[in-house]
Amino acid sequence: MKRLSKSFVLLVYVFLGLVFLSSCQNNPPVHQLFLPEGFSYEVYVDSIGEKVRHMAVNENGVLYAKFKRQSEQGVLAGIKDFDKDGHYDSLIKFGQYHFPQKGNYSTGARIHKGYLYYSNHLNVYRVKLDADRIVPTGPHERVVIDDHEHGSHEHIAKPIAFDDQGNLYVPFGSPNNACQTPKRTPLTPGQNPCPDLEKHAGVWKFDADKLNQTQEDGTLFATGLRSIVAMDWNPSDQSLYAVVHGRDDLARLWPNHFNTWESAVLPSEEFVKIEEGDHYGWPYCYYDQIKNKKVLAPEYGGDGDIIGMCEDFKDPILGFPGHWAPNDLVFYQGDAFPDRYKNGAFIAFHGSTNRIPYPQAGYFVAFVPFENGIPGEFEVFADGFAGIDPIINTRDAQFRPMGIAFSPDGSMFISDSREGRIWKINYILDKENFSMTQLEKMNARKALSHIRTPDKITDRIELASDELGQNLYNQHCVSCHQLDGQGAASRFPTLTSNWVNGEKQALIKILLNGAEGDLEVNGEMYTGVMPKYDFLTDDQIADLLTYIRKSFGNTSSAISMDEVEEVRKSNKPLKP
């Protein structure tokens, strides 16, 4: 055998190295999910191209995924794996809102008696499914109409659930954080009684088969529930359950009572069993999962310890840490997973945006086992969606879990709201031999910063600055627009935009008057609420806006106190 020359060997190594580098560039490292031992996952759809919200699976195995907003291709996707290899073979986008209103923030998707029910922010629709087709051919009908005058887009999601008696349950979320006027203004008391409770902050019950119902056609089922996105009917005990988004801004609104650590971890995201006539206490009270009790909200004289009237309201069955953003809840009824998962609850925590100066949290799927109707301690079922830990800014997370659905064979689907990815999860071991030791590696993940309760000192991200504008930004803006000024997708706009770097008077008016509804920034649509900051002095507004216009890559000119004073004197709100 001839010996190869050193130069030839070197060329071979160089060639292999280039091939390896090319392979890495064309095939980046696979994003990894973490599951209990015995579970496997596959990327069922790499990217739909839309932000996917809730999902549902028909008896024929077609997965229906609901988009957050209507696109040119539709509002839904029908997805089918014909050869059963774990990856879709057909994906067809379809449907439109036949009764459009401005904005179309979408949430619910459930199948009931052969119909696919789905929702946007002001309507619940349905369409009859075909057993032999992916795309249904029948008409899209409106079942429930939210006909309120909506100046506010806060907490306007419309998840849906059905009982076994033909009733449809739909929440009408609160248009306010804590029933303040003006909204989200520091040291401002709440209205008492809160007028929003008449038509909001509750769950209404409707006839699932009746079309074009307004809220007046329904019945108020339960109240005192600020914002619900995750809701499901549990057939095992014939009861309605939800995981409620808790209120925000304890430290920003009430710095005399709450520090930033308390504001990051409180109040609880409440897992509630909802029975007819229940009142859960919003806006007067909130649940403290650390103290295991409901306490009086600061808008009504609370200081974090006072209970007062809150002893009269119903407690949750379980309290999760604050701001994890529970966005779907599904009770498992299949047979493919080990028996301990039967009748238990899977919850998708979409992830926080407003825990600065502490790391963001959530971004995983939890499981809550139930025994004789009693919930146990939550478990980490699926994790790794964000791809990083700690998560400092919301946009750093690669994926955010949103929707959960189960196929007739018991397989699990999880959707992502950033890239439109969908994962399929199966159990691949002998389920009869399942043991609790298979959960150990997932229990260890509770120590990661996006799940554990942060330490007050060591987990704090230092925000102190000698610059007045930056200190004002850290106090009033960072929880929404983030440390890097890039905001949070669909909710809080980036601060590197023409709105910030353009005409000064328009920017000053936004700070003085606030803004609500849909806003397009750099080609991306945002739906949310910007509170008024007219309580700041002219020099504070000038310092704050100057800092923003010279930070995050911005190089625009400063704003003076005189310019703010001039706008304030002639101030009229900007027209939408």
| Tens-place pLDDT, residues 361-391 | 999 999 999 999 999 999 999 999 999 999 9
Q: Which residue has the higher pLDDT, 576 or 342?
A: 342
* 546 φψ region: left (φ > 0), alpha (ψ -120 to 50), beta (else): alpha
Helix, strand, coil share (%) of the chain residues, nearest 5: 20, 30, 50
pLDDT score, position 517: 73
* CATH 1.10.760.10-classified regions of the chain: 468-569
Please, which pLDDT band fits residue 28 given cuts at 50, 70 and 90?
very low
Q: Which whole number is the average pLDDT over 429-435?
A: 96
3-state SS assignment for residue 57: strand
pLDDT score, position 570: 87
DSSP classification of residue 165: T
CA distance 405 to 79: 13
Please, which pLDDT band fits residue 307 given cuts at 50, 70 and 90?
very high
Flag the least confident range among 186-190, 330-334, 429-433, 548-552: 548-552
* Residue 524 near residue 532, CB atoms below 8 Å: no
Written as one letter, the residue type at 362 is G
DSSP classification of residue 180: B
Please, which pLDDT band fits residue 101 given cuts at 50, 70 and 90?
low
Name the one residue in this structure whose structure tokens are 């359950």.
241
Tokens describing residue 7: 């130069």
CA distance 58 to 205: 24
Q: How many C-alpha atoms does 378 have within 13 Å on its Cβ side?
A: 24
pLDDT score, position 9: 36
Flag the least confident range among 170-184, 275-289, 513-527: 513-527
Name the one residue in this structure whose structure tokens are 């353009």.
502
Name the one residue in this structure whose structure tokens are 């100046």.
151
pLDDT score, position 472: 85
Q: Which whole number is the average pLDDT over 456-476?
A: 85
pLDDT score, position 152: 58
* CATH 2.120.10.30-classified regions of the chain: 39-447
- How many C-beta neighbours within 10 Å does residue 467 have? 14
Euclidean distance between the first and the last CA atom of the chain, given in angstroms as a whole number: 81
What residues contact residue 352 under an 8 Å CB cut-off, 6+ apart?
322, 323, 324, 325, 360, 361, 362, 394
C-alpha R_g of the chain: 25
pLDDT score, position 25: 34
User: Per DSSP, what are the bridge partners of residue 296?
Assistant: 285
Q: Which whole number is the average pLDDT over 437-454?
A: 97
CATH pick for 39-447 out of 3.40.50.720, 3.40.50.1820, 2.40.33.10, 2.120.10.30: 2.120.10.30
pLDDT at position 200 over 70: yes
* Global model pTM greater than 0.85: yes
213-214 and 140-145 beta bridge pairing: parallel
Highest mean pLDDT among 71-85, 89-103, 145-159, 269-283: 269-283
pLDDT at position 252 over 50: yes
* Mean residue pLDDT across the chain: 90
What residues contact residue 416 under an 8 Å CB cut-off, 6+ apart?
52, 385, 399, 400, 401, 402, 422, 423
pLDDT at position 24 over 60: no
Degrees, nearest 5: CA angle 319-189-176: 60
pLDDT score, position 6: 39
DSSP letters, 307-363, are -GGGGGSPPPSEEEPTT--EEEEEE---SSS-GGGTT-EEEEE---S--TTS-B---
Tokens describing residue 104: 């179309």
Flag the least confident range among 178-192, 276-290, 450-464, 482-496: 482-496
Flag the least confident range among 173-187, 189-203, 338-352, 487-501: 487-501
Please, which pLDDT band fits residue 474 given cuts at 50, 70 and 90?
confident
* Residue 265 near residue 286, CB atoms below 8 Å: no
**In whole angstroms, how far apart are CA 497 and each of 179, 500, 548?**
31, 5, 11
Sign of CA dihedral 477, 482, 483, 486: negative
Q: Indicate the class that CATH gives domain 468-569.
A: mainly alpha
pLDDT at position 489 over 80: no
pLDDT at position 241 over 70: yes
CA distance 2 to 539: 83
DSSP classification of residue 13: H
CA distance 525 to 527: 7
Q: Which of 388, 383, 381 is nearest to 360 (CA)?
A: 388
Please, which pLDDT band fits residue 539 given cuts at 50, 70 and 90?
confident
CA distance 339 to 335: 7
3-state SS assignment for residue 230: strand
Highest mean pLDDT among 33-37, 416-420, 464-468: 33-37
**In whole angstroms, how far apart are CA 49 and each of 101, 299, 331, 516?**
23, 42, 28, 27
pLDDT at position 171 over 50: yes
* Residue 264 near residue 358, CB atoms below 8 Å: yes
Q: Which whole number is the average pLDDT over 98-125?
A: 85
Q: Which residue has the higher pLDDT, 306 or 25?
A: 306
Please, which pLDDT band fits residue 475 given cuts at 50, 70 and 90?
confident
Buried-state track 387-411, b at ≥16 Cβ within 10 A, e below 16: eebbbbbbbebbbbbbbbbbbeebb
CA distance 463 to 479: 12
